[in-house]
């Protein structure tokens, strides 16, 4: 009984995902291991192309049928391995137990279908309610995301970008999912609307008791909305811990570089401090640590050997050969 009680709500073990063509294989996710507790929020942070969205799509099992494959690992929801579930079983899970807010509301909505019907479709799929009851629940969801129910019969082109994103959120939350995957939900929005949408997501998450995986580039969003943080680089988690651990004691050179690139309004500096170089080609990843071509702490072991996961002094995880040198600032 104790093991079941303490088991994580979501558990990802050594997940590996590839995209492939006749010419090459893209190693999108390379041994990702993560856990998420019930009612908590996990932030996935990293550059574009790091594999964050692929992790989320793997959880829902919505990777393309052609050109993508999960080559290893486990994704367990309350102990049940989703990778071993049938497609019929996954259809019952999608939308009801796990939902996803997709990155671009402009393409996530069907342009020729009324917004209310798009919400109602999800509800009808997972309930046996009458058409009238389904419509009322869809109208209630519109109200919940601050859109008048009278706009049920309008089409996506009649909504602003922020309102479209709210509709997408209403679709994702229509069946009170236990896990919400939010893939950069504010990327296409201006700053003021971003804040409103994030506040709305947080309020609904707290109201419904939903666990959440939040994919973002924005460290400020992570600081405000996440409990734990996983920093992702070239398909691997390079640093992982609570928000306080990662923010107060960043240990991996990549994480330190991300924080160094954020403007400090309390310091008079003329230039930002970006991370030198570019992310690696995922079809030709460097041997050893994928970050070593950009790292001033890199040694021969970083270029060739398997990268260990070490526990830092404050107790969080970091995949790096030279954590002592990094903490002492002894790079080249």
The predicted-structure confidence for 34-60, as pLDDT tens digits, reads as follows 999 998 999 999 888 899 999 999 999
3-state helix vs strand vs coil in the chain, percent to 5? 40, 25, 40
* Residue 331 binned pLDDT confidence (cut-offs 50, 70, 90): low
pLDDT band at 187 (very low <50, low <70, confident <90, very high): confident
pLDDT band at 198 (very low <50, low <70, confident <90, very high): confident
**Is the residue at 26 inside a domain?**
no
The verdict on residue 263 lying in a domain is yes
Q: Is residue 130 part of a domain?
A: no
At residue 332, the pLDDT reads 54
Per the domain annotation, does 311 fall within a domain?
Answer: yes
Domain contains 132: no
DSSP 38: T
Residue pair 291/233 in contact (Cβ under 8 Å)? The answer is: yes
Which one-letter DSSP state was computed for residue 310? E
If one counts the domains in the chain, the total is: 1
Domain encompassing residue 307:
250-328
Count Cβ neighbours within 10 Å for each residue of 8-34 and write b for 16 or more, e otherwise: bbbbbeebbbbbeeeeeebbbbbbbbb
Q: What is the pLDDT of residue 192?
A: 75
Q: What percent of the chain has pLDDT over 90?
A: 59
> For residues 285 and 27, is the Cβ–Cβ distance under 8 A?
yes
92: Cβ contacts below 8 Å, ≥ 6 apart? 126
pLDDT of residue 4: 43
Examine residue 256 and state whether it is found in any structural domain, yes or no: yes
Quick one: average pLDDT of 12-16?
96
Q: Is residue 272 in some structural domain?
A: yes
Give domain status of residue 22, yes or no.
no
The predicted model scores a pTM of 0.89
């Amino acid at each position: 009984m104790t093991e079941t009680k303490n088991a994580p709500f979501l558990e990802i073990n050594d997940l590996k995902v590839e995209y492939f063509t006749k010419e090459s294989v893209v190693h999108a996710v390379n041994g990702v291991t993560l856990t998420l507790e019930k009612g908590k929020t996990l932030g996935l942070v990293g550059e574009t192309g790091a594999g964050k969205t692929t992790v989320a799509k793997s959880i829902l099992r919505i990777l393309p049928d052609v050109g993508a494959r999960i080559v290893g690992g486990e994704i367990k929801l309350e102990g049940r391995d989703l990778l071993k579930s049938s497609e019929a079983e996954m259809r019952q899970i999608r939308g009801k137990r796990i939902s996803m807010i997709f990155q671009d509301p402009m393409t996530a909505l069907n342009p020729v279908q009324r917004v209310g019907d798009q919400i109602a479709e999800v509800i009808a799929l997972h309930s046996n309610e009458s058409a009238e009851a389904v419509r009322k629940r869809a109208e209630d969801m519109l109200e919940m995301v601050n859109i008048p129910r009278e706009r049920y019969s309008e089409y996506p082109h009649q909504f602003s970008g922020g309102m479209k994103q709210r509709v997408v959120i209403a679709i994702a939350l229509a069946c009170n999912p236990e896990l919400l995957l939010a893939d950069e939900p504010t990327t296409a929005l201006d700053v003021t609307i971003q804040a409103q949408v994030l506040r709305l997501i947080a309020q609904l998450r707290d109201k419904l008791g939903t666990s959440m995986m939040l994919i973002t580039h924005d460290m400020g969003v992570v600081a405000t909305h996440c409990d734990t943080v996983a920093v992702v680089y070239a398909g691997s988690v390079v640093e992982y811990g609570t928000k306080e651990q990662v923010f107060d004691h960043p240990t991996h050179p990549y994480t330190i570089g991300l924080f160094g690139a954020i403007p400090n309004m309390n310091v008079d500096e003329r230039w930002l401090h970006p991370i030198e170089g570019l992310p690696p080609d995922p079809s030709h990843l460097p041997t050893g640590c994928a970050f070593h071509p950009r790292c001033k702490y890199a040694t021969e072991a970083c270029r060739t050997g398997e990268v260990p996961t070490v526990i830092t002094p404050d107790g969080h995880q970091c995949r790096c050969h030279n954590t002592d040198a990094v903490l002492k600032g002894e790079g080249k």
